[in-house]
Chain A
Amino acid sequence: MRQVLYALIPGTLLMSWIFGWGVLTNLILATIFCLGFEILAIKLRQRSVKIALSDYSAVVTAWLLAISLPPMMPWWMLLIGCCFAIIVAKHFYGGIGNNPFNPAMVGYVVLLIAYPLQMTQWLAPSHMVEALPSLANTLGVVFAGADLTIDAVSMATPLDTLKTELGLSKTLGEIRSTALFGTLAGAGWEWIAGLYALGGLYLVYLKIIPWQTPVALIAGMGVMASVFTLAMPDHFAPPTFHIITTGCILGAFFIATDPVSGCSSTKGRVIFAAGVGAIAYIIRGWGGYPDGIAFGVLLMNMAAPLIDHYTVPKAYGQSS
């Protein structure tokens, strides 16, 4: 799974460039916590720590969780998120290979439900502020609980803004004219999403992930978005806007492709990923949260065994 980590590097670097040190503190702390919990669980379960760490799965979980969370997370929130991801979602079910739910998404959703305010407060991208928080400021926020609003400008994500302002009956054109939005989606965000997509394509090229999953997820979201945009163009953002978000791209290439908690057959994987895309769109549009990829993944995780049951491919000689 080291290749997965390599594929995440470009997007993560750009993300740090745009949002500052907070991305890296997230990443470093989450990695330390996840590895710590992994070692603890493996020790308690009396398995080989060396073998458990050699597959890098805990690092991948940490990384996916860290880049899903708003930058500059307080350390204790990261600790809770990593604990739920590694201990509850993974090792309570028997460790790698046995978890029915995606560990990173479990950690994310626990934090989202428990701390909705902090979880929707993102830093403003670099082009909208005079200066990003300094390293000292960042460490202050992360470790000493300094107040974020004094030191840096925090704001909602483009998806969140879209949702709130649509709720205030503004038209799409008005909303998207602000500096938060770029040509296709969120300014700056669209480039991060683009680099994550590039990393994902690298994994497809290496055949580490099947191409069907990202295609189906993007199609699931794209079809839903197209239908509503065509019906009411002023009230629903076009499919490009929904697809070129870090949530959708990370979900398509890095999260819905988790083989352990997903489906087995190609047909099953397509249904799984399309379901994630559709559910995420529904939650974005009408749910209580700005993004729904995490919920979409967990809901489809629940459905995976059922999908598997009905999508067993015909073996050689069974078709006739």
Chain B
Amino acid sequence: MSSSNQKITPFHGGLHLDGHKQVSTQTPIASIPVPQYLHIPVPHNSEVTATVGEHVLRGQALTTSSNSMTPAIHASSSGTVRAIEMHAVVNRSGQLLDCISIETDGNDKSIEPLAALKPSADNKQECLDRLRECGIVGLGGAGFPTAIKVATDKSIDTLIINAVECEPYITCDDMLMQEQASRVINGAETLASIVSAKEVLIGIEDNKPEAIKAMQAAASNAERGKIVIVPTIYPSGGEKQLIQLLTGKEVPSGGLPADLGVVCVNTATATASYDALHQGLALTERIITVTGAGVKKPGNYLTRLGTPISKLLDFAETDHKVYQQLRMGGPLMGIPVKDTSSPVVKITNCILAEAAQPQHAEQPCIRCGDCVRVCPAKLLPQQLYWFTRATEFEKAEDHGLFDCIECGCCDYVCPSNIPLVDYYRHAKFEANNIKSERIRSDRARIRFEQREQRLERKAEEKAALRAAKLKKLKEREEAKAAQQEGTQDNKQDEIAAALARVKAKKEKTND
């Protein structure tokens, strides 16, 4: 099965961009030598198990997590843990993160690979554990843990392999398919077995003829796996957009692809999943495109995770005077690199050196609507912008703020040069803050109300008790009074009797 007669449903908007892809596909994938130092960022809610001074081997887990869904990270070569401290990383906030720094010993010794695991309907949990243990996450850019993606208990009809790679300059998946198509197909097969998918669709943009040819050849021997050629329109590689292209269905707002019976996984992720299950290997390296202005040897490089970006740039013979800015990822969604000592991580698909571009000052929005025309999420980007400016985050949410996939199409076309996506990120952050603030205050309010009720109940109980006591006391007093009255009557009688007696005596003596 390899032909492509799948119906393509186009999505709204999108951009026709210059791919700039040939630049980095002229040479085969090369390996970057293991650097002297590796810096491996510690994921959130993970606990470091490695200790400073400890000798570690390639593939050895360095963290564990109480959250059973957080994938582990591993030493990507053998060496000695020298430090666990804050180090520069590539992120939007520019904050330092805890990193495990390993001084490599040059031997590059690995731990024993885990036993091969053949996925079937019966050992799903085992497979999920393996994916997590081997640190498999989405390598397309989002870094979502693959184990969570495939853990769904919904019935899955279609596994989609996202081999679209729609953002300009990036070619790591393209080259992976050209050189190792059968591994990709094996990966797809592995994941399809885990989720028990009936069909496997592999979506590739029509600007990668060589990859398509290689994949079609590899898929012809496979049981499942149909190559579907999609038009080159950014962002056809967005998960939601690809699902729409291939199935004609829209992932419900706030829902997951699994709700449609679809699981969508990136090409390199599929390959890494195959390595994890069949070879028992943890994720310690990936292919990274290095390209752009001043890069004299643009191409794709198999790089150990934790390698400083500067090493990649040096290996690709980059002239640091030519480019103006570095980006991790593509020109539209990539994150600016501020410090080249930052390490490459699992989601680093590309290091792009960008030439100086004419800088235009941000101008007021005139609601021209160019952004509406290109938005693949069918939003009204200009309205979201106005609501964000007015800090009306709830209104922005009503207008689908969280359906924004941050693809950057609106930024690209905005004639007023407004960095729209930055506004939406800010709005999402604020909207989430408001939400968690509300949850917190709701919780506090409920606690307060419960306390009030409790106090009231206690007060009532007390009052009732006191009332009962008072009543008892009163009754007792009344009873006492009654008794006393009784005794008084007796006394008076006695007195009267005595008086009578005295009187009688007196009368007697008088007689």
Contacts and interface: CB of A to CB of B under 8 A. Distances in A.
Contact of A317 (B250, B369, B382): B250
Contacts of A265: 372, 380
A223 to B, nearest CB: 25
Interface in A32-67: 51, 55, 57
Contact of B367 (A57, A260, A312, A320): A260
Interface stretch (B99-107, B303-311, B358-366, B486-494): B358-366
B378 A314 contact: yes
B399 A312 contact: yes
Given A264-B372, A264-B380, A264-B383, A316 B12 contact: yes
B364 A315 contact: no
B369 A95 contact: no
B253 A318 contact: yes
Contacts of B361: 51
B419 interface: no
A284 B249 CA distance: 49
B247 to A, nearest CB: 12
Interface in A293-320: 308, 312-320
Contact of A262 (B11, B240, B367, B400): B367
B269 to A, nearest CB: 23
A259 B382 CA distance: 11
Contacts of B249: 320
Contacts of B12: 316
Interface string B364-392: 11111100100011111011000000000
Please report whether the interface of chain A is mostly helix, strand, loop or mixed according to DSSP.
Answer: loop
B296 to A, nearest CB: 39
Interface in B372-428: 372, 376-380, 382-383, 398-400, 403, 416
B363 A320 contact: no
B399 to A, nearest CB: 6
B209 interface: no
A96 B250 CA distance: 37
B251 interface: yes
A95 B382 CA distance: 17
Contacts of A316: 11-12, 240, 244, 250-251, 253, 376-379, 403
Interface residues of B, number: 32
B261 interface: no
A145 interface: no
Given A308-B383, A312-B399, A316-B376, A264 B369 contact: yes
A265 B398 CA distance: 15
A102 to B, nearest CB: 13
A313 B399 CA distance: 9
Nearest to B244: A316
Nearest to B395: A309
Contacts of A98: 364
A237 B21 CA distance: 61
A317 B252 contact: yes
A213 B116 CA distance: 64
Contact of A97 (B255, B367, B378, B379): B367
Nearest to B241: A316
A317 B240 contact: yes
A13 to B, nearest CB: 27
B364 A319 contact: no
A210 interface: yes
Nearest to A263: B367
A57 B249 CA distance: 43
Contacts of B376: 316
Contacts of B367: 97, 259-260, 262, 264
A259 B368 contact: yes
A320 B378 CA distance: 14
Contacts of A318: 252-253, 400, 403
Q: Which of A95, A96, A97, A315 has the most CB of B within 10 A?
A: A315
Contacts of B378: 313-316
Contacts of B372: 264-266
Interface of B: 11-12, 240, 244, 249-255, 361, 363-369, 372, 376-380, 382-383, 398-400, 403, 416
23 contacts: A51-B363, A55-B363, A96-B366, A97-B365, A97-B416, A259-B369, A264-B372, A264-B383, A265-B372, A266-B372, A312-B398, A315-B377, A315-B399, A315-B400, A316-B240, A316-B251, A316-B253, A317-B240, A317-B251, A317-B255, A317-B377, A320-B250, A320-B252
Given A57-B366, A265-B380, A318-B252, 6 more contacts: A259-B366, A262-B367, A265-B372, A313-B378, A317-B251, A318-B400
Shortest 3 CB-CB distances between A and B: which pairs? A97-B364, A315-B400, A317-B253
